[in-house]
Structure 1
Amino acid sequence: MTYLSEMNEAIARASRLGLKTPNFQLMEGQLLNQKVYQDIPYIVRDAMGDASLEEVAAQCLSYHMRLLPILNDYFGTELTYTIGHVAVGSKIYFEQTEDQMQALIKSGVTQPQLSIHAWLTLPTCEILDFTLPTTFAMLSKTKEGYGSVLSGHADRLLNDVSYHPMLLGEDYLRRIGALVEFEYFL
C-alpha cells in the first residue's frame, strides 16, 4: 500500500470515527531539497530555542504541533499533522487500531503515557519527523540519532523505515484529552 493510499484511508477512518480532518491536497514533485535541509536547523532553532534532548525525545505530539504553522509559512503550503505508527523492518512502534482509537474517544486518556506518534506530511507525501531519531537514541542509550530529522518521500525512506498514517490533524488528540489548547504568536 502506498503512503498516499494510507493517507486517504486515514481520512476515511477519521470520518468513521466522527473526527474532523484537514484537507490533504496532493502536490506533484518534491519540496525537500538541499536548501531546505540547510534552512531547517535554523528554522527549528529559532522556533523552539535550543531544546534539550529530553524536550525533543518522546514529545512528538507537541513538538510537531508547534512547528506546523512555522513550516507552513516556510514552505508556503499546508503541511499535515499526521498521527500513526512507524515500522522499522518487522518491528512496529506506536500502533493503535481503529477499535483502540474509538475506545479512547469514548473514555479519554486515563494513563500518563500514550503509545502514539505524530509527524508532519508535506503535500508531496514527503515527511518530516523531528523527534523519532532522538527518541530512539535516548531509548538505546546511544548518541547516534540525537537531534536528527527523519525526512524524505514516505514511500522511499532508507533503513527499512516506513510510516503509516492513521489519522490526520489534531482533532483526535483534543477529543481524547491528549493535547491542550495553546496560543501561537509570531
Structure 2
Amino acid sequence: MCYEKRFELALDKTLEIFGESESVNLNLDNRYISEKPLFALFKKVYESAKSRGIKLAGNCTTIHWNTVDELSRALNCKAYFTVGYVVDAGHEYFKFTYEDVQEWLRSGQSSKKVMLHAWLTLDSMEIVDFTLGPTIADVRPDQKHLEKAIIALSPEEQDEGFHYIPMIVKDDFLMRIQAYG
C-alpha cells in the first residue's frame, strides 16, 4: 500500500478516535524537499537541541512537534505532525496499535514513555524525519554514521523494504494522551 493511502487511513482513524482530524489538502504533483533549506533547518534544529542538552535520538515527538511550522515555512508547504511506526527489512520499530492509543487516552502517559515514532509529512506526501537516524546511531554502535542523518523521502522512495506507517495525524495528539506539555 502506498504512503498516500496509509496517510488517508490514518486521517480516518484519527477522526474516528478523536472526533476530529487535520484538514489536509494534498499536493501530490509537487515535490518540496530541497537539500539546501532542509540541511539548513536540520543544522538549526541540531544546534538548538544541543544547546539545550537535548539529544535528537529518542526525542522524535519533541523535535518534530516543535519544528512543524518552521519546516512549513522553510519549504513553503504544509507539514503535518505524524505519529506511527517504521518498517525496515520486515522489522517493525516503535509499533503501537489503535488499542494502545485508546488506553493512552484513558490513562494518560505523563509518567510513562510511549512506544511510537513521530515525523513530519508534507502535503506532497514526502516525509521528513530528523530523529530516526540519530536514534538508530544511539542504540547501534555500528551505525554511528547516522548520528546526523536526515531521512527525507518522496512517496515513491518508500518500498516494502523500508517505509513509514502513519497511524495518527493530529497536532495536539501528545497533549491528548498527556505525554507532552
* Number of the residue aligned with 2:37: 39
The AA in structure 1 aligned to 2:6 is E
The AA in structure 2 aligned to 1:131 is T
* Long gaps (5+) in structure 1: 181-186
| Structure-2 change in CA distance of 1:145 and 1:47 (3 Å) | closer
Q: 1:130-145 to 2 correspondence within 5 Å?
A: 130-142=130-142, 143-145=144-146
Q: Tell whether the 8 Å contact from 2:133 to 2:148 is kept in structure 1 after alignment.
A: yes
Residue 81 of structure 1 deviates from its aligned partner by 0.8
The AA in structure 2 aligned to 1:86 is V
Moved more, 82-91 or 104-113: 104-113
* Number of the residue aligned with 1:128: 128
**What SS class does the counterpart of residue 80 from structure 1 fall into?**
strand
The AA in structure 1 aligned to 2:173 is Y
Residue 159 of structure 1 deviates from its aligned partner by 9.1
**Number of residue pairs matched?**
178
Q: Tell whether the 8 Å contact from 1:155 to 1:162 is kept in structure 2 after alignment.
A: no
**RMSD of the TM alignment (CA)?**
2.1
The AA in structure 2 aligned to 1:37 is E
The AA in structure 1 aligned to 2:162 is V
- TM superposition score normalised by structure 1: 0.86
**What SS class does the counterpart of residue 64 from structure 1 fall into?**
helix
* Number of the residue aligned with 2:63: 63
2:161 is the alignment partner of 1:160: yes
Q: 1:69-148 to 2 correspondence within 5 Å?
A: 69-109=69-109, 111-142=111-142, 143-148=144-149
Name the CA distance, whole Å, in 2 between partners of 1:31 and 1:96.
30
- TM superposition score normalised by structure 2: 0.88
| Structure-2 change in CA distance of 1:110 and 1:80 (3 Å) | closer
Q: Tell whether the 8 Å contact from 2:96 to 2:116 is kept in structure 1 after alignment.
A: yes
